[in-house]
Amino acid sequence: MDKLDVFIRNLKKIFRSKGIITPLTASYEITPFCNLMCKHCYNRYKSTNHLDIELSYKKQIVSTLKQLGVLEVVLCGGEPFIDKDILNVIEHAKSLDLRLIILTNGLLITEEIIVYLKKILDKYDIIQFSIDDIIDDEESTQRNLTLEEKLIVLNNLKKLISMDINVVVNIVPTILNQHYIIKLGKKLIELGVKNIGATPYVPMGGKNADLIKPDYKLLADIHKYLDVYAKSKGINYSGGIEGHVCQSYVEYRKNNSLQQQNKRRVCDAAEFNIHVSYNGNLYPCVFMEKDEFLIGSISDPLEKIKIEMKKMNEKIKVELPSVCLSCELLPLCGGGCPGLIFDRYGTLQEVDPRCRRKNNAT
């Protein structure tokens, strides 16, 4: 966590305590298209007719985010580097002094792109390499990469590191890669990766998505091991392998002073975060890209976007189910992910499907 992360986190705390709702972070799906079909990907369930979006519109999206007060833009997709305009969009965002986090599977990056990124990005920008199964002697079942593709990704990762570009490697643990996450972590550290994190798997798209959910008891042990190992090597491991609070087997220190006054779900979506889809539609977050959560369009007047965002925030932050209200993990958990809850049950008044405590919350 750098100075800018701390600044944004503190700003959110202050705004939340004062009831201020305004976008500070945004994700922008520059393209829905991708060169891979990862088994864990929430975006695989999207069907999109091809639409050629003009560069000028992409720039307008970024400019409007800036005018809305956004400080940080996560460029996501699909695969951002499949988009012909990606470098122009990055350049435009940097000309507006926005902090960028660029998510990529790392396959389409070239030497030329790396040189360009070195020139244009600053020390607060991040390239997030998504690496789930890249060990040469293991079969790649999550991202379906050939050995040749794995080598390309590894090579690109090495080049970024050697150019001193700020890289964070992200892993999404599932049943498909859980048995070699430690090996993967060690290999990444050997390669010179300085920042490793993980995103807990969000099983979007219905119950079938649960088929690849990992063993969270095993992940708690892996998390503890990697935490110690990374520290011993001076590497920053930001956690996440253990899963979301509601599902993990890590012992959490319960802090009563954090006890939540609010009886509503706590989540950044449509409070401090906004998501823009490739066509300029606005949603609370990537997991809520659904008609029911449409805030409006990036072409709407700024005031209208802010008003509609507040209305959406009211709609999302429903009163929590009684099981969450009496749960001692609520201050840490916030009551689960509204995007996933709606995706699974078609209502927000449910307990997060990942929660292993919902039948015996204390």
Which residues in this chain contact ligand SAM in the complex, by CB under 6 A?
34, 40-43, 76-77, 79, 103-105, 130, 170, 172, 199, 201-202, 204
**Cα–Cα distance, 298 to 276 (Å, whole number):** 8
- Site for ligand SF4, residues 338 to 357, rule: CB under 6 A: 351-352, 355, 357
Question: Does the protein bind ligand SF4 through residue 242 (CB under 6 A)?
Answer: no
Phi–psi pair at 297, nearest 5 degrees: -125, 150
Question: Does the protein bind ligand SF4 through residue 101 (CB under 6 A)?
Answer: no
Residue from 173, 203, 240, 336 binding ligand SF4 (CB under 6 A): 336
Instruction: Show the tokens assigned to 175.
Output: 């049943």
Least Å from the CB of residue 358 to ligand SF4? 5
The amino acid occupying position 132 is D
**Cα–Cα distance, 74 to 181 (Å, whole number):** 25
The listed partner (ligand SAM, ligand SF4, none) that binds 351, CB under 5 to 8 Å by sort, is ligand SF4
Total residues contacting ligand SF4 by CB under 6 A comes to 26
Cβ-based nearer residue to ligand SAM, 77 or 321? 77
Q: 10: Cβ–Cβ under 8 A, 6 or more apart, which residues?
A: none
Q: For residue 196, which of 163, 234, 162, 164 has the smallest C-alpha distance?
A: 234
- Site for ligand SF4, residues 102 to 141, rule: CB under 6 A: 105, 130
The listed partner (ligand SF4, ligand SAM, none) that binds 145, CB under 5 to 8 Å by sort, is none
Cβ-based nearer residue to ligand SF4, 201 or 237? 201
Q: Which stretch binds ligand SF4 (CB under 6 A): 35-43, 119-127, 206-214, 280-288?
A: 35-43
In the bound complex, which residue of the shown chain has the CB atom lying closest to ligand SAM?
Answer: 130
The listed partner (ligand SAM, ligand SF4, none) that binds 199, CB under 5 to 8 Å by sort, is ligand SAM
Instruction: Show the tokens assigned to 73.
Output: 């833009």
Q: Which of 190-201 are b and which e, b meaning 16 or more Cβ less than 10 Å from the residue's Cβ?
A: eeebbbbebebb
Instruction: Show the tokens assigned to 281.
Output: 């539609």
Residue from 121, 324, 340, 348 binding ligand SF4 (CB under 6 A): 324
Least Å from the CB of residue 82 to ligand SAM? 8
The listed partner (ligand SF4, ligand SAM, none) that binds 68, CB under 5 to 8 Å by sort, is none
Cβ-based nearer residue to ligand SF4, 230 or 269? 269
> Distances from the Cα of 249 to the Cαs of 220, 241, 242, 303, in angstroms?
6, 11, 7, 44
Least Å from the CB of residue 50 to ligand SAM? 18
Cβ-based nearer residue to ligand SAM, 65 or 202? 202
Q: For residue 76, which of 340, 268, 286 has the smallest C-alpha distance?
A: 286
Cβ-based nearer residue to ligand SF4, 42 or 237? 42
Cβ-based nearer residue to ligand SAM, 130 or 313? 130
Alpha helices in 47-110 (DSSP H): 55-68, 86-95
Reduced 3-state DSSP string for 113-163: HHHHHHHHCCCCCEEEEECCCCCCCCCCCCCCCCHHHHHHHHHHHHHHHHC
Q: Which residues pair with 31 in a beta bridge?
A: 77
Q: Is 69 left (phi over 0), alpha (psi -120 to 50) or beta?
A: left
Per-residue interface string for the shown chain with ligand SF4, residues 67-86, x marking contact by CB under 6 A: ----------xxx-------
The long-range contacts involving 42-45, CB below 8 angstroms and separated by at least 24 positions, are: 42/202, 42/204, 42/205, 42/286, 42/287, 43/77, 43/78, 44/205, 45/204, 45/205
Least Å from the CB of residue 314 to ligand SF4? 20
Q: For residue 200, which of 84, 337, 82 has the smallest C-alpha distance?
A: 337
Which residues here bind ligand SF4, judged by CB under 6 A? 34, 36-38, 41, 43, 77-79, 105, 130, 246, 323-324, 327, 329-330, 333, 335-336, 351-352, 355, 357-358, 361
